[in-house]
Amino acid sequence: MKMPRVSFIIPTMNSERTLERCLQSIRMQDYPDIEIIVVDGGSTDRSLEIARKYADRVLVQPGPLGLARARGARLATGGILGILDSDIYLPHKDWLANAVSSLLGRPRAAILWPVNVPPADASHTARAYFALWEYRLRRGRNPVPGGNILVRKKAYDEVGGIDPRLHFGEDYDLTLKILRRGYTYIVYPDPIIHDTMHSLRQYTRKQFWGARSLSIAKQDIISTTVSWNPETLSLAKAGVKHLWQFIASIPLGIRRYKDPLIIVYSPLMMAIRAFVYGFYSLRIMRSKK
């Protein structure tokens, strides 16, 4: 069976800490046809220099994250798109070939959603974060796939692709559109490494970024733990919903990562998220008066 070209679309913004390892892990794949498109949002570090060493195309596209991903996808020539963040590492050289074979073996599956795990030397924050991620995946009723996926280009095009106006939640928006089209997805158990949330400071910064993006766009956050056909949640409801998920994920995280400090970090992260989303919810309520 001829394996289709896989086009990786990777947005960057001051990503020099992780980008080289990300791109190296793609180039090391034992796979016959790979295309890498890096779309930079205006980095001031070495991201562009690193990208040019490995990518087939390097674009500069300021603006929303959705615009960067959408522009890269428009130029992609592969039958499968790898929509990855710049802090993702493929774990071994056979990962892509195995993943594509799994996707091709399921004709109605348009999305392959890999399990995400932190690096071996991950921070306490990252371990608590991915314990929550795994809890949602295990306990959610048909959770909606998010970012860091392989997706059939045909299905991507059928739904109009990623909304270029969105700066947050653009990945959930895409996968929801594809699922509503009648396609299914695969949760792929061979995990990819997600090198993120290396400190409480970074986690807090991302919470502010996400909540602010949602409030500006007047979007509802999409819940990844509700039954399909998915409901949408306001910022306030989303914050409340995630509180109990943080608590419930603590035992799983301690077992998985052998890190008792998760019992400290999960409540801290829970409190940060509640404060940030509560703050922006109040701003939205006041703006509507």
CB-CB neighbours of 153 under 10 Å? 20
* pLDDT band at 224; cut points 50, 70, 90: very low
Calculate mean pLDDT across residues 246-261.
91
Calculate mean pLDDT across residues 9-21.
97
Cα angle 237-240-241, degrees, rounded to a multiple of 5: 85
Predicted local confidence at residue 289, as pLDDT: 57
CA atoms within 13 A on the CB side of 197: 24
Of 75 and 239, the structure prediction assigns the larger pLDDT to 75
Per cent of the chain over pLDDT 90 is 67
Whether cis (ω within 30° of 0) applies to the bond prior to 229 is: yes
Give the residue from 190, 191, 206, 202 showing the smallest Cα distance to 124: 202
Calculate mean pLDDT across residues 40-54.
97
In contact, 183 and 111? CB cutoff 8 Å: yes
Q: Name the average pLDDT for the chain.
A: 87
| pLDDT over threshold 60, residue 64 | yes
Predicted local confidence at residue 288, as pLDDT: 61
The runs of H, that is alpha helices, within 76-191 are: 95-104, 124-139, 153-158, 170-180
Give the residue from 116, 123, 138 showing the smallest Cα distance to 259: 123
* pLDDT band at 226; cut points 50, 70, 90: very low
